[in-house]
Amino acid sequence: MSYLILVRHGQSIWNLENRFTGWVDVDLNDNGRAQAKKAGDLIKEKKINIDLYYSSFQLRAKNTLKIIQEQLDDYKKVKSAWELNERHYGFLTGLNKDEMKKKLGEEKVHQFRRSWDLRPDPLDKNNSYHPLNINTYKDVPVEKIPDTESLKDTYERVIKYYSEDIKNELKNKNILISAHGNSIRALCKYLFNLDNNQISKLEIPTGNPLLIKFDSDNKILNCEYLDSERAKDLLVY
């Protein structure tokens, strides 16, 4: 038996400002730090020893995990992977979601956010928000850095990394992953065998640990959000 804990980072500065963030490396706000602290406390109550910690390359996920580890008094080395990054929103990056609804129409923005394989137009490589111009990604191979992504693109990179680097560890280890709404959405699609319509409806709350329990054959036994007051419908279980 083993556990996988998925945590979407706590609320970020741009979450609060309702902006498309994607690969821009913004930090947590005060509420996000409080959410991360509560996440750590909720995990601690479960008395689960975490063997391996994973995070995306992004500050909001790294700092969420740092706060969780402080609450657990556990400072094991964290493995950071750009493959666990948030989805790249292309030309929408940095823009306000409500303003874009007025400009493009609510339906179009919804399609950009939740359709399976629709990519927003690419972000200009000279834009300061492009990952090529953000120091966080200086060690990511240039050919791997996207200009835009669909949820399908995000799914493919996340699940490739999960399958090659994380999945087999679950046979005898407890793992915590600190990542993002769309990278966790991709993991849930894979783990719970959700179809493309179901994945578009799946909401991932910030800073609320999703605890998934596996048997010795890596089959899911049950799952739950640890903060029941902010839980979302998992569409399964």
pTM > 0.75: yes or no: yes
Counting the structural domains of the chain, the total is 1
**Domain assignment present for 68:** yes
**Domain assignment present for 232:** no
The pLDDT-based confidence of 199 (bands split at 50, 70, 90) is confident
Query: What mean pLDDT value characterizes the chain?
Result: 94
**Percent of the chain at pLDDT exceeding 90:** 87
pLDDT for 114: 81
**Domain assignment present for 217:** no
pLDDT in tens, 61-77: 999 999 999 999 999 99
82: CATH? 3.40.50.1240
**Domain assignment present for 37:** no
Residue 175 has pLDDT above 90, yes or no: yes
Concatenating the DSSP letter of every residue in the chain gives -EEEEEEEPPPBHHHHTTB--TT----B-HHHHHHHHHHHHHHHHTTPPP-EEEE-SSHHHHHHHHHHHHHHT--PPEEE-GGGSPPP-GGGTT-BHHHHHHHH-HHHHHHHHH-SSPPPPPPPTTSTTSGGG-GGGTTS-GGG--S---HHHHHHHHHHHIIIIIGGGGGT--EEEEE-HHHHHHHHHHHHT--HHHHHH----TT--EEEEE-TTS-EEEEEESSGGG----S--
**Domain assignment present for 106:** yes
pLDDT for 234: 65
Domain limits for position 84: 10-31+63-210
Task: Tell me the catalytic residues.
Answer: 9, 86
**Domain assignment present for 67:** yes
Residue 45 has pLDDT above 90, yes or no: yes
The candidate with the shortest Cα–Cα distance to 184, out of 35, 41, 55, is 55
pLDDT for 237: 45
**Percent of the chain at pLDDT exceeding 70:** 98
**Domain assignment present for 218:** no
**Domain assignment present for 233:** no
